[in-house]
Structure formats: structure tokens, C-alpha cells
Structure 1
Amino acid sequence: MIFFVSLFTTASAANNYTINVSESASYQLGQAQIETLFNKIYAPLDITPHYIFLPSKRGLEQVNAGLYDAEAGRFTIIGNQYKSLLMIPTPLAELKIVLFCIEESFCQLDVNQGFLTISGTLFTEALCESKLLSCNTVINDKSAFIALKKQRAHAIIGNSLFPKGTLCESGLEQVYIREILGQSFPLHHFIHKRHQALLAPLEQSISKLKASGEITVILNEIANEFTHCNGKIIELPPIQLNSSIDDGLILNIMN
């Protein structure tokens, strides 16, 4: 009976399986790259996913409610708050929080500066609150980089990978980047608990793709995209903070 249920679940998933992607990530990565990544992950399971791009929190809530089948990628502290979601143990990537600036002198956590954050990025909201920074939120990273070019803010607070994917569209020729936390944050794939039978196969698939370097290749394509339009990224020494982002603060922002 258990075997039959497992077969039924897998067959049903293969026919109609929808992954939610945070709307902000779709701007940052591009839908084609996201679909390439997850098509590779699900190929050994004979599942060709469909994709939907929803605002950050609403999308998570709808996957948790069972309206969709999986959540593309979330940080552990966020995804684990949703009781109907199961986390694939092997992370897709390890990300860091960084500053993007067009002038080196602005790559500081200065309370007298203006910062931009990208909608739906709870970690950066927590950082702004904990460090009493003046932060304004924009809908996506393209808007943030355009605003930075027009000097409407001193710096963008983002993660170490995803915003690089749209730097070419911003019209910038050069950008400084500086790591501002010593922490790395694992990004995991989550599935709805009704698909528990897929947990082990997905773990195996992601582990194999990471071991072969295929996931790294896709992520590096995003990270190196700025060089395709002759853009230059200058990495500055990291800022050492006395404290990390507090999990409790992130949860307060979520609620």
C-alpha cells in the first residue's frame, strides 16, 4: 500500500508540479536561469516543473498551504518557519550579505548614508533595523542599480550573488562590492510535505549536481554576467561587525 501511494504521488507530481520562485529572485536571476537549474534537478525524477513567480511572503504562504508543490530557494531560518515545508538538506548555494557601491568611500555601514534594499529580502531588512540604518526598499535589483547610478542612494545592501545578474541592464560600468557579515547563509530548496517521497531523490539529485559542478556553473554564469558587457567589479576588504544578524529579529520582521 505504501509503495502504491509513493508511485501515485510521483506520477501525479510528474504531470502537474509547480515551483514557486520569489518574485525578487526572478528579477535578479532571470527566469531562464532558474528554470534551467530546477529542470536539471528534477530531470532524474522524470518531473518537468511548472513555475510561478509570486511576491516573497505570499508565495511561501501559498506553498505552505499546499496550493503549489515546492519553493525554489529560501534561507534556512525563513523556510523552516513554515510547518508544511520539507527542506532538502544539501544547500543550493551559500550566500553572503554585501554592499554594492559606485564609490569606494560609500561602502561603509554609516548611519548618515542612504541605503537601498530589494523587496522581499528579509535578511537585509533585519540588518537595517539592527544597525539603525536609513534604508529604502525598491521592487527589484534593476531599479536599485539604476537609482544608485543616479546617486539617489549611497549603497545597495544585497546578497553576494544574485544582483550581479542585472548589473549590465543598469548602465553602470564599474561597481564596488564589500562583504559586511562574516556569516554565510545556506540557500535550500523546499517541498510541500505531501511530496515527502521526493525528499531523498531530490537530495540525491542536488548532491550529484553540486559534486559534478553543474550548479556552480549555472551560478557562475550569473555572477560573471557583468563582465559580458565589459563591466568591472572591484572587491573591497570585508567589514567586521561585532554581531551577526539575529534570527529573532528576522522572525519579528516576518511576522
Structure 2
Amino acid sequence: MLWFVIGAANAIAETTITLNAGTAEPLITAEGGGYYGELAREIFSRIGISAKVIRLPSARSIINANEGIDDGVIGRIAGMDKKYKNLIMIPVPVVRLKFVVYSLDQKDSVENWGSFKPYSVGYIRGWRIYEKNLPQTKSLTIVNNAEQLFRLLMNGRAELIMFEYYRGTWWNEHLGANAHIIGSPVAEKDMYLYMHKRHKDLVPKITEAFKAMKQDGTYRKIKDKTLPPYMK
């Protein structure tokens, strides 16, 4: 009997939670590092569980989490559990994303969604925030990924491109685009961690561990280490 109890305890201790993320550097790297990777490992280590984060295409990531192929998904907006009924949201934001506008000309100016009308604009296919809010523009080009987006700007095929700040900063430096953020963010959104409902018993523990990280400064240290500060 004692052997059985010890064996069960060891099995729990050896459990690895697999989360996925439908994004890219610097939020998550191909190797499972970056902000989301380090954050998840710290959260789960505090409740005695190892964790890893894998990178998937955005649409596939939420489906895998909902179907239980993976244990959860990190970096999604609030309310995803209304559509994906097998998911439970951890009610503490993992990060606040800023959706910004890049230009090669610092004289360009946008103050609201209506300000885009006289410009040629580009954004990545499937980004609902732009599909819903962007009015008619001088011209619009929709691309498939971040590199194509910045190449539009660099090759003069778009005067403005719309993207998320952390990933935009990474690609701007990676490609040497020398783009500038103009105006204030057009939107900001808190992002959350969701767990598959089979882990519902872990949700209070995860929540408390994450709150403790924010209180003791660990959250800030991970963020400062892995993400660039917001600078226009």
C-alpha cells in the first residue's frame, strides 16, 4: 500500500503540463522560450508541476487546447471560454498587448481609426481587430505573416502597417526596417491563460501562484528580461 501511495505521488510530481501559444518571438520562441515560456514554467513550478509551451498556428492552438490535445493555451483574449466550452480562463492577465502603427516617415500621423483613410495600409490576414475597425483606406494590402508585413513597408508598398508592439519591435530590429511607431496604440488588450476543464482542480492553485508572482516581483523580472519596454 505504501509503495502505491509513493508511486502515485511520484507520478503527479513527474507530470508535465503542455500549453500552446499561437504567436511568435519574443512572446514564445520555437524552442519554447521567450516570455510565455518562462512565465508558464515559473507559475507551474510554484505548484509542483513542470510545464512547457509549444508554438502552433493561431487557429490550431485554440482548437488543440479545447479538444484536450494540449493542456491549455496561453495568450488569448478574455471570453474565449464562451465559444470554446472546454476551456477555463485563469482570471489574471498574463500580458497587456498594444496594437500600434508603424511608418518609415515620422511625419505621418494617426489619431483614430478614421485617420487611416489617406494612407496605403497593410496588416496580417485574420487579425480581427483590424478587420472590424479599419475604414476604407487609399489602398489595403493583407499579408500572411510578420516578415511580409514589414517588407511591405520597406519596399514602399505600404505607408503604414499595423501590428502588435512586442512582435513588431522584434521584427523591426530583426529585419533592420528602421520603422517608427506613430501616434498612440489604436487598441490595447489583456491576454489570458486558459486551461482545459480536466484541470479545473488546478485553476485556483494556478491563480494564487500567479497573483503571488505579481506581488513578489517575479512577474516583473520575467517581463523585463524577455520583452522590450514600450517606447515610441
TM-score w.r.t. the length of structure 1 is 0.72
Aligned-residue Cα RMSD (Å) equals 2.8
Q: Which runs of 5+ in 2 are unaligned?
A: 1-7
Matched with 1:116 is: 122
Classify the secondary structure of the residue corresponding to 1:17.
strand
Instruction: Kindly indicate which of the two structures has a greater share of residues assigned to helix.
Output: 1
Distance in 2 between residues matched to 1:119 and 1:194, nearest whole Å: 33
Residue in structure 2 matched with residue 184 of structure 1 by the alignment = 188
AA matched with 2:194:
F
2:24 to 15, 23, 26: 26
Q: Which residue of 1 aligns with 2:133?
A: 127
Q: How does 1:71-82 map to 2 (within 5 A)?
A: 71-78=73-80, 80-82=82-84
What stretches of structure 1 of length at least 5 have no aligned partner?
1-7, 226-232, 236-255
CA deviation string 1:176-235 (max 9, x = no partner): 232244x5321111110110011011111221222233333333442249xxxxxxx5x3
Q: TM-score, normalised by structure 2?
A: 0.78
Distance 1:201 1:216 in 2: 20
Query: Aligned pair count?
Result: 215
Distance (Å, rounded) in 1 between the aligned partners of 2:10 and 2:180: 46
Is it true that 1:89 corresponds to 2:91 in the alignment? Answer: yes
Structure 2 CA distance for partners of 1:135 and 1:219, relative to 1, 3 Å: farther
Range with bigger deviation, 136-145 or 53-62: 136-145
Instruction: Give SS of 1:26's match.
Output: coil
Percent identity between the two aligned chains: 23
Deviation at 1:125, TM superposition (A): 2.7
CA drift of 1:10 comes to 11
Tell whether 2:158 aligns with 1:156: no
Structure 2 SS opposite 1:195:
helix
1:145-196 per-residue CA deviation (whole Å, 9 max, x = no partner) reads: 2332222211221234332233211213351232244x53211111101100
Q: 1:154 to 1:35 in 2, by over 3 A?
A: same
